[in-house]
Amino acid sequence: MDLSGKHIVLGLTGGIACYKAAELCRALVKEGATVQVVMTEAAGQFITPVTMQALSNRPVYDSQWDAREDNNMAHIILSREADAILIAPCSADFMAKLLHGRADDLLSLMCLARPIDKVPLLIAPAMNREMWAHPATQRNLAQLQVDGSVILGVGVGDQACGETGDGRMLEPLELLQDVIAFFQPKVLAGQHVLVTAGPTFEAIDPVRGITNLSSGKMGFAIARAAQEAGATVTLVAGPVSLPTPRGVTRIDVKSASNMLQTAVECAQKASIFIATAAVADWRPAQESDQKIKKDGSGQTPQLSFVENADILATVAQSARARSGALFCVGFAAESHDLLAHATAKRIRKGVPLLVGNIGPATFGKDDNALLLVDAAGASEMPRNSKLVLARQLVAEIAARLPTPLH
């Protein structure tokens, strides 16, 4: 549970997106957070306090005159208890109120009274596309960011008014991921991380090919963890059907040759390269332009193979990697003798860090166990979820970078 021990004040302002706040509240609680809901009077026109109380398991506050607190200062007590205040949905009117420091209801009063250096303010805007695009709204957004608020962005699509465009509140699970990411240590802030993930597919004919059992889950988890850690992330993905992690730029490829070309190009701007993809070692020497058919003779087609270029070694031997401008991390999926194979592969590839795992024990699964091999020796990461391991690996990489991060 990624938010275990966190206390979130969830503020609701007037807007049809309040219906999403119910699911968001439930999701935050399921991730281990305690949630205190504070609503404006306008929010109460769209969803009832009873609903939010049932989902949060806590009484809802909706008035600055609430007498439940001994000192009658709910705006002080609630803000001091919070690890963060999340306004979702946040209307255009409420953003303007925050900008000018107005405090004529409990939620705005609480936001103004919060200790700015201890209680961050996260804003999930929700409004009509024209309201979102209006210069006044954009000015307010820019100034709120300057003042230290975190703007979580908006979605694009159909709106309740019947129009289509920017301004929708992000979906609850998107906001949940953003909140989780906010609390992760920013150990890769300022870094540009390139990740390759998934299998490759080497075509034999238009309907057949050579591939492997890699699901891409480990690589996608690493891309997510790197983005959570503050990095700009580019994910080069083989043929998998996984959703793109929030905030990550994804480039889909198919063959090892496609992946090589894309990785070499993207590595020119990266500062960290993590090669998690299970790249095919060989490809058919010639691809048939038509499906190879059985002829009834019982004879199998004769196929010859050529070796694919080594993507990790190619990037690791580039001028940027040799100069120290690009830190390269390799992965080794083995079936046996993991330590011996991973140690030899690290030396052969010429990388500072090699991460090994047993392929058959992890392909397609949501958990894994890793072996980290560097010049000093080897250390184990016990079996855990791939996302937890990805976050641990990101921390290990950050600690090994030649230039300390600030």
CA gap 167, 138 in Å, rounded: 12
pTM value? 0.90
| Angle between the N-to-C axes of helices 106-113 and 74-81, in degrees from 0 to 180, rounded to the nearest 10 | 60
CA gap 112, 108 in Å, rounded: 6
Sign of the C-alpha dihedral computed for residues 165, 167, 171 and 174 taken in this order: positive
Phi, psi angle pair for 367, to nearest 5°: -125, 170
pLDDT of residue 69 exceeding 80, the answer is no
Average pLDDT (120-148) is: 96
Which residues are CB-neighbours of 306 under 8 A, at least 6 positions away? 282, 283, 284, 285
What are the start and end residues of each CATH 3.40.50.1950 domain in the chain? 7-183
What is residue 99's predicted lDDT score, i.e. its pLDDT? 95
CA-wise closest residue to 76 among 108, 104, 114, 122: 114
* CATH architecture entry for 7-183: 3-Layer(aba) Sandwich (3.40)
Percent over 90 (pLDDT), the chain: 82
Secondary element (H or E) of residue 182: helix 172-183
**Is residue 161 flagged as an active site residue?**
yes
What is residue 128's predicted lDDT score, i.e. its pLDDT? 94
CA-wise closest residue to 237 among 253, 260, 224: 253
What is residue 119's predicted lDDT score, i.e. its pLDDT? 97
pLDDT of residue 160 exceeding 80, the answer is yes
What is residue 403's predicted lDDT score, i.e. its pLDDT? 63
- Each residue's pLDDT tens digit, 288-324: 889 988 888 888 888 899 999 999 999 999 999 999 9
Q: Which one-letter amino acid corresponds to residue 155? A: G
pLDDT of residue 405 exceeding 50, the answer is no
What are the start and end residues of each CATH 3.40.50.10300 domain in the chain? 192-400
Average pLDDT (94-121) is: 95
CA gap 263, 103 in Å, rounded: 52
Strand-pairing partners, residue 210, are 202
Phi, psi angle pair for 275, to nearest 5°: -95, 85
Euclidean distance between the first and the last CA atom of the chain, given in angstroms as a whole number: 28
pLDDT of residue 278 exceeding 50, the answer is yes
CA gap 35, 378 in Å, rounded: 42
CA-wise closest residue to 174 among 244, 95, 127, 226: 244
What is residue 199's predicted lDDT score, i.e. its pLDDT? 95
Of 109-118, 237-246, 354-363, the one with minimum mean pLDDT is: 354-363
CA gap 283, 277 in Å, rounded: 16
Q: Which CATH class is domain 192-400?
A: alpha beta
Of 65-79, 126-140, 231-245, 332-346, the one with minimum mean pLDDT is: 65-79
What is residue 73's predicted lDDT score, i.e. its pLDDT? 82
User: Which pair of tokens denotes residue 67?
Assistant: 């007498």
Indicate the pLDDT class of residue 48, thresholds 50, 70 and 90: very high
- Each residue's pLDDT tens digit, 348-399: 999 999 999 877 777 878 898 999 999 999 999 999 999 999 999 999 999 9
171 exposure class (CB count in 10 Å sphere: 0-12, 13-18, 19+): middle
CA gap 51, 237 in Å, rounded: 41
Of residues 90, 161, 266, 328, which has the active-site annotation?
161
